[in-house]
Every structure is written in C-alpha cells, then in structure tokens.
Amino acid sequence: MRFLPIALSCVLMAPVAMAQSGADKDYLVPYAGIFDIGDSDANAQFGLEYRFADIGYGFRPTVGANVDDESAAYVYGGLNWDLPLGYNFTLTPNFMAGLYHQGAGVDLGGGIEFRSGLELSYAFENESRVGVAFNHISNASIYDSNPGAETLLINYHIPTDWVGGE
C-alpha cells in the first residue's frame, strides 16, 4: 500500500515518457553509495548497471551487479521506468530481482532478493545524466527472516555510444 501513490503517479505520467530525450540510447550506469543506511553498521556499496534503450513508454530492461566493502554481492535484472518531469529531470521507479551473496555483509535472509526504488536524475545536453537513488532490497518474506536493507546511491548515466565511438 505504501507504493500505491507512487504507482498511480507513474501511470498518470506514462504518456509523457514516450517523448523523452535519450530514450533510444543504452546507458552504462556506475554508482556508489551507502548500503543498509538505517543501520549503525552501514557500509559502502559500488555497482554498475546496463540500461537498455526504451522498449516503450519509458521502460528500460536493466541488468546490474554491486558489491559492498564487506564482500556482499548482488547480481540482478529487471526494469527501470523513465518518467520525464521537465527541466531535464527524470523520475525513475525500478524493480529488480536477483541473487544475493552475503559474504561478511548483511544477512538478508536468503539468496533470492528483490529491489525496488526511486531515482531522480538530471540530463545534460550531451544526454549523460547524474542521479540520486533510494532503493529497498528484501526477500518479500519468501524466507523465515526478511530484515531488508535500504541504499542511498549516486550514479552517472554514460551513453554507450560514447564508449563504442559511434
């Protein structure tokens, strides 16, 4: 229920998403931030996503991986939904599913974990973006223990045609 207002806002903004700048581009998105921000033992997290070009209505298939400074790792895939807000800002809800390895890090209750979150980014004239994201990761109670964790991240969207020299 807590995500219902966000979902309704996103549905109302869907027609706007079709006209977004950079929608035809794939992006490499390196990010860094804090994992388990609500805990006194929060730690650094680093990751990389590949966001494919818009497949319609702002939806971008996404794959990614991250690690933290306690050897925990998460490999995932899912969807980002780019919703332009105007003035070069984009709101991006996301949902991912993946495999989590605890390492010496936070025990999230099991190996299958789901991530949902929101990102706010700003697009530059060269179609790169800088953003801040807040995510929640948990196992949706498919295991006996479901402590969950939150992340606060900053990221930079690099159009892949920069890398490929197109």
Q: What are phi and psi of 86, to 5 degrees?
A: 100, 165
Q: Residues 66-93: pLDDT tens digits?
A: 999 999 999 999 999 999 999 999 999 9
- Give CA–CA dist 151/166, Å, rounded: 34
**This prediction's pTM:** 0.85
- Give CA–CA dist 90/71, Å, rounded: 32
CATH code of the domain made up of 4-164: 2.40.160.20
SS3 content of the chain, % helix, strand, coil (to 5): 10, 50, 35
Q: Residues 149-160: pLDDT tens digits?
A: 999 999 999 999
Among 12-26, 37-51, 56-70, 150-164, whose mean pLDDT is lowest?
12-26
Mean pLDDT of the 27-35 span: 98
Q: What is the pLDDT confidence band of residue 163, given thresholds at 50, 70 and 90?
A: confident
Q: Which residues pair with 129 in a beta bridge?
A: 123, 157
- Give CA–CA dist 21/59, Å, rounded: 13
**Residue ranges covered by each domain of the chain:** 4-164
